[in-house]
Structure 1
Amino acid sequence: MEEIKKKQPVSIPEVQEILGKGDPEMMDQIQRWTYDYVSKFVTADPKNAKKMKQVLVKECELTEEEAVELVNIRPTSMAELRSFTFGWKKLILAETLEKILRTIQEHS
């Protein structure tokens, strides 16, 4: 078994990109299932997803985990965005929520 070298939250488009670099014949069953899943459901470009995650972390002061959640879900309205951020149990100002929504729209 391979040693874990680094733990980092990645979005679904990034998972597709990472697994897509490997040889499908060399993947174990879980990797194949994961690759099949992400290939069917990914709608965002991995580069756009990475950029969106970076902007959300840097300019909107979200954690990487929070940014990945939003990249994966890509809420399209303020009400939908609030339903996700409410679960984080931290106060996010209205201006920041607007900036988050703009960032998601710009990079989708």
Structure 2
Amino acid sequence: MEEINYLDFERVDIRVGTVVEAKPFPEARKPAFKLLIDFGPEIGQKKSSAQITVHYTPETLIGRQVLAVVNFPPRQIGPFRSEVLTLGFEDETGAIVLAQPERAVPNGRKIM
């Protein structure tokens, strides 16, 4: 594990947002969904490609709050431009489990 200082961590802008749209992403090399996430009035809605197809369906993602890094540069993933990095953790099989707040919080709040 590489150590970083607290100032490095402060530069990573992690925000909470609500998934407002989720669609299959058949063009992706690995199974994924295209997400549209609402981060509130300051940031707005942003797109994300997320490899979360094992534990989630598009229907179960709508309305779910998620955590995402909003200040990485966008990445082109095939024909899709992913604007934020949705955060999650690998389970024991390597499938991704989303990171999310325990209770609902206003969209756009920054991690503390």
TM-score in same-fold range (> 0.5): no
- TM-score, length of structure 2 as denominator length: 0.22
Larger radius of gyration: 1
Name whichever structure is richer in helix by fraction.
Answer: 1
- TM-score, length of structure 1 as denominator length: 0.22
Name whichever structure is richer in strand by fraction.
Answer: 2
